[in-house]
Amino acid sequence: MTNSPSSWNDQVIAEFRANNGTVARFGRNLVLIHHIGAKTGAERIAPARAIRDDHDSWLVAASKGGAPDNPAWYYNLIANPDVRIETPDDGIVAVHAEVLSGAARDAGWERFKEAAPGFRDYEQKTSRVIPVVLLRRRTE
């Protein structure tokens, strides 16, 4: 298997599903975002570190490991914000994505840095402001 990002994502997704939401490197702190390609309309799946905000919402950070650009899934959520996520505890959940700004974004980002030191490293590696997205449960 290659070391491409899609190959790595495929491995994480397989481990998530095989172990009921637990991934060795991340524990039970991931969600799988089922997003729709802004240009292609094709469904894609991306694993993302999540912080449970409350019973009906999760935060995800578009960190891309501190890369200079945002991950594709971020742009797809902007174009098509009504998506589904797979969670370790709730299964598949329909959510609406909202990009946070200002104080709400900053507070969310601080939570990521407190939860995992790697996010501090990502922030130092890039000049962009890393987006934080709120995924709120919706009824389909």
pLDDT tens column, 2-57? 456 678 899 999 999 999 999 999 999 999 999 999 999 999 999 999 999 999 99
Look at residue 97 and give its three-state secondary structure: strand
* pLDDT value at residue 3: 55
Closest CA to 66 of 135, 2, 9, 117: 117
* pLDDT value at residue 2: 46
- The pTM is what? 0.92
For residue 27, what are the β-bridge partners? 23
Distances (CA, A) of 67 to 29, 53, 62: 21, 25, 10
Question: Region 123-139: what's the mean pLDDT?
Answer: 96
Phi-psi region of 66 (alpha: psi -120 to 50; beta: other; left: phi over 0): left
Contacts for 63 with CB less than 8 Å, ≥ 6 apart: 49, 71, 112, 119, 122, 130
Q: Which domains does the chain have, with CATH numbers?
A: 5-133 (2.30.110.10)
